Amino acid sequence: MRISKLPFDIGIDYEELELVLEVLAERIEGYDSYLYIGEEVYCICNYPADKMELIFHWDVLQAVIVSFKNELPFLSQLNQGELKTNLLEVQTELETNESYFVGTIGNNTISLFRLVKITYLIYGDSILLAKLRRTLLS
């Protein structure tokens, strides 16, 4: 079980996706948030994403929030040291704690964590990810 492909490439232009996006309230000042409403479904280990939010700055994709209503079974591996080899093609070390991990896939920083009954996979610019995690926690 590996996440080797993310649903959207960071850095793509808004114009490439504008027909499958719906405007959302601004999550972070200066960034535009959109809900993906296209027909293609993103899955991790056969678990479909519930929704995908794309965050743009100056019409360039900066981050993506993928949410899953199902608890992904591999989250139980977070504190068992198995996640690095079983889930991600990681180029840097993972930082783990009880609620999330951070690693990389290609050039993207990725964070995966569970809040209440929703699992979030967010990726993009590492500084922006910290801000996004705070908005999800509040």
Q: Report the pLDDT averaged over residues 110-114.
A: 72
- Its pTM stands at 0.78
Of 71, 62, 32, 38, nearest in space to 52 by CA = 38
Q: What is the pLDDT of residue 6?
A: 79
Three-state DSSP string of 88-120: ECCCCCCEECCCEEEEEECCEEEEEEEECCEEE
Give the three-state DSSP class for 12: coil
Q: Report the pLDDT averaged over residues 112-122.
A: 77
Q: What is the pLDDT of residue 47?
A: 77
Give the residue carrying structure tokens 């996640």: 83
For the stretch 37-90, pLDDT in tens is: 999 888 876 778 899 999 999 999 999 999 988 766 656 554 444 444 344 443
For the stretch 5-18, pLDDT in tens is: 678 989 999 999 99
Q: Report the pLDDT averaged over residues 87-94.
A: 40
Percentage of the chain with pLDDT > 70?
67
Q: Which one of 21-25, 67-71, 95-99 scores highest in mean pLDDT? A: 21-25
Domains of the chain, earliest start first: 14-137 (3.40.1000)
Three-state DSSP string of 15-47: HHCHHHEEECCCCCCCCEEEEECCCCCCEECCE
Question: Does residue 92 surpass a pLDDT of 70?
Answer: no
Torsion 13-17-18-21 (CA) sign: negative
